Chain A
Amino acid sequence: AQTVTQSQPEMSVQEAETVTLSCTYDTSESDYYLFWYKQPPSRQMILVIRQEAYKQQNATENRFSVNFQKAAKSFSLKISDSQLGDAAMYFCAYRSFGSGGYNKLIFGAGTRLAVHP
């Protein structure tokens, strides 16, 4: 069974600085998807960024980028120029690629990010 581990329960960063959130996963599959979700105090789950395992290029979305290391099964999220609105819980998630359209997401425990002015 696949597992996702986020080893940093809490992180903090100064406004305008850069922070990296760690995520490792375990799987025997070769094709899969990885995601970072943001959960602000409103509790809404917001998709930040996604990565297909068959793509070697790291995904980027504005100030958010990932460092995807397939062999090491590592998927870290880098937030550049941190803003107060980035303060939230961040979840790393894994999804199998196939299995007849099986869309189950497997989540890590989350990392709570605080942004200080």
Chain B
Amino acid sequence: EAQVTQNPRYLITVTGKKLTVTCSQNMNHEYMSWYRQDPGLGLRQIYYSMNVEVTDKGDVPEGYKVSRKEKRNFPLILESPSPNQTSLYFCASSLVGVDTQYFGPGTRLTVL
């Protein structure tokens, strides 16, 4: 089954404790992206990757890091989480130049 998976689905952590949210897709997509969803703001892009070892900032990259060492994986790293990073996070993937993106199930992150 074609899908985008994210782990964990729920995470409660404390300020300053490094964490990683994993994202994996099995569709051989070149393009992968991270979004955060906040009430009243919709989804905003954090980082994206056009292919292995090619990443770039989106609209709200502060406080986040990403890496793309393998085509299927695109982890989101919060090295020192803060309460303003409490949000719902989505990973998405697609073929480059194709309009339809596939979304993961979301990760609810709470930073205390």
A interface residues (Cβ-Cβ under 8 A, vs B): 4, 6, 9, 33, 35, 42-45, 47, 50, 52, 91, 93, 95, 100-101, 103-105, 107-110
Contact = CB atoms under 8 A, between A and B. Distances in A.
Nearest to A39: B37
A45 B31 contact: no
B106 interface: yes
Interface residues of B, number: 27
Contact of B42 (A50, A104, A108): A108
Ranked 7 nearest A-B pairs via Cβ: A101-B96, A107-B42, A45-B103, A101-B97, A107-B43, A43-B106, A33-B99
A50 B100 contact: yes
Contacts of B105: 42-44
Majority DSSP secondary structure for residues of A touching B: loop
Contacts of A6: 42
B107 to A, nearest CB: 10
Interface of B: 30-31, 33, 35, 40-45, 48, 50, 58, 88, 90, 92, 94, 96-101, 103, 105-106, 108
Contacts of A9: 40
Nearest to A98: B97
B92 to A, nearest CB: 8
Contacts of B103: 44-45
A91 B43 contact: yes
Contacts of A93: 43
A54 to B, nearest CB: 12
B109 to A, nearest CB: 13
Contact of A43 (B41, B88, B99): B88
